Structure 1
Amino acid sequence: MRPIRILFRRDFIHGFQLNFMKWILAGVVLVLIVLWAIWNRVDGENKGILILVNILEGYAPGEGENLKLPADWLAIHILFLYVIGQYTSEDFRVNGTYIFPRVRNPWRWWVSKILWTVLSVVLYYGLLLAVGFVLSLLLLPAILPVKGLGEFELLMAAVLLSSALTLLMGLLQTVLSLWFSTIMSFFVTLAVLMICCYVQSIWLPGDYGMLIRSTYLETHNLWDLTAAFLYFSVSCTGLAFAGHYVIRGKDVLPKSE
């Protein structure tokens, strides 16, 4: 565990130093997204921080209706993909030759990167919640940011499902970037997100990461989210092993490995 702690501390410091300006830009864009949602709210609805629920709930195309682009939902996920960017793949290509012989096991390096991605998701959604809370408090002063336990649970369900989807997409982009170019991995992940918007299937993460497609909206029973988190747990675990497989096949690994 000690090598993983050392690597994770390095990723925490080095990763956020390299991506500092990206985080600043992310904060600005999140402010704009929330402001846009507040500006376009329907009078009497979407009050307080629950505006974030409308941003994060996703999109479920109705039968016979014209397709719409869930721009705010897509922006939230695309922005995170931009923030984590090429840090893992660049570190692998630039520093892998020096790090892997020292840690003796590429799995430790990869676990550190997974933990860094998880932490990035937590901080990202923490930033989004902070932006939503402050702006709703300032611009909608007559409305409490969260009114009652029911609204809080609805908000948390939207955040948990969306963050799980964001983590899965972040890991997918990271694994692909180890195999292909950073640009290609980004556009492949973007294509998966676009497919999730318009194709409803039990095999796609969109059906599990969008609150609007969840039975929780009807039952308000947190147990209805179990299938979603089981899906994301299995998928993220599969990507973790796929990333390790890719790393072990690269030339930067010592021959003893």
Structure 2
Amino acid sequence: MRPIRILFRRDFIHGFQLNFMKWILAGVVLVLIVLWAIWNRVDGENRGILILVNILEGYAPGEGENLKLPSDWLAIHIVFLYVIGQYTSEDFRVNGTYIFPRVRNPWRWWMSKILWTVLSVVLYYGLLLAVGFVLSLLLLPAILPVKGLEDFELLMVAVLLSSALTLLMGLLQTVLSLWFSTIMSFFVTLAVLLICCYVQSIWLPGDYGMLIRSPYLETRNLWDLTAAFLYFSVSCTGLAFAGHYVIRGKDVLPKSE
């Protein structure tokens, strides 16, 4: 475990140093997303908690209605994909020659990158919640839910489902970036997100990562989140092993002329 801790500490410092300006930009975009949601809120909806729920709940196209683009929901995930970007693939390409002989096992390096991605998701949603609460306090007459803990629980479930989907998409983009180019991996992941918006299927993460499609929304029973938990656990584990497989098959040594 000690090599993983050392690598993770390196990723924590090095990764956020390299992505510092991206995080600043992400903060600005999140402010704009929340401001837009407040500006376009439903008449009479003045509670900040439910404004955040509306941003994170996703989209479920109704039968016979015109399709719309869930811009807020998409922007939340796209900004995160931009933030983590090419860090892992670039670190592999630039520093793999020096790091891999020292850690000996590529799995340790890859586990550190997974932990860094998880931490990035936590910080990202923490930033979103902070932005949402501050702007709601400043611009809305009320932020706390009238129904007490019920609406607060709804927000936490929305954050949990959305962050799990964000993590899955982040890992997907990272694995693809080790295999293909960074730009291609970004657009493939973006295509998956767009498909999730308009196609409802038990095989797609959108059915599990969108609160609006979750049975919990009607029952308010936390046990109804079990399917989502299993789906994201299996999917993230599969991507973890897929990433390890890709890394083992790649040569970090420079090719001879």
TM-score by length of 1: 0.97
Q: Give the Å deviation of 1:141.
A: 3.2
Deviation string 1:170-219 (CA, Å, 9 cap, x unpaired) is 00000000000000000000000000000000000000000000010110
Alignment CA distance shift 1:146-1:126 (3 Å): farther
Q: Give the Å deviation of 1:253.
A: 6.9
SS of structure 2 residue aligned to 1:126: helix
Alignment CA distance shift 1:232-1:142 (3 Å): closer
Alignment CA distance shift 1:63-1:142 (3 Å): closer
Gap runs ≥5 in structure 2: none
Q: Which stretch has the larger CA shift, 176-185 or 48-57?
A: 48-57
Distance in 2, matches of 1:143 and 1:204, equals 33
Deviation string 1:18-75 (CA, Å, 9 cap, x unpaired) is 0000000000000000000000012222622220110100000011111000000000
Deviation string 1:125-173 (CA, Å, 9 cap, x unpaired) is 0000000011111101344368511011100000000000000000000
Distance in 2, matches of 1:34 and 1:46, equals 13
Check whether the contact 1:56–1:159 (CA below 8 A) recurs between aligned residues: yes
Alignment CA distance shift 1:133-1:248 (3 Å): same
RMSD of the alignment, in Å? 2.4
Gap runs ≥5 in structure 1: none
Q: Give the Å deviation of 1:90.
A: 0.1
Deviation above 4 Å: which 4+ runs of structure 1? 253-257
**1:1-257 equivalence runs, <5 A:** 1-45=1-45, 47-144=47-144, 148-252=148-252
Q: Give the Å deviation of 1:252.
A: 1.5
Alignment CA distance shift 1:253-1:246 (3 Å): farther
Distance in 1, matches of 2:77 and 2:49, equals 19
TM-score by length of 2: 0.97
Distance in 2, matches of 1:221 and 1:124, equals 27
Report how many residues are paired: 257
Alignment CA distance shift 1:255-1:190 (3 Å): closer
Q: Which stretch has the larger CA shift, 32-41 or 137-146?
A: 137-146
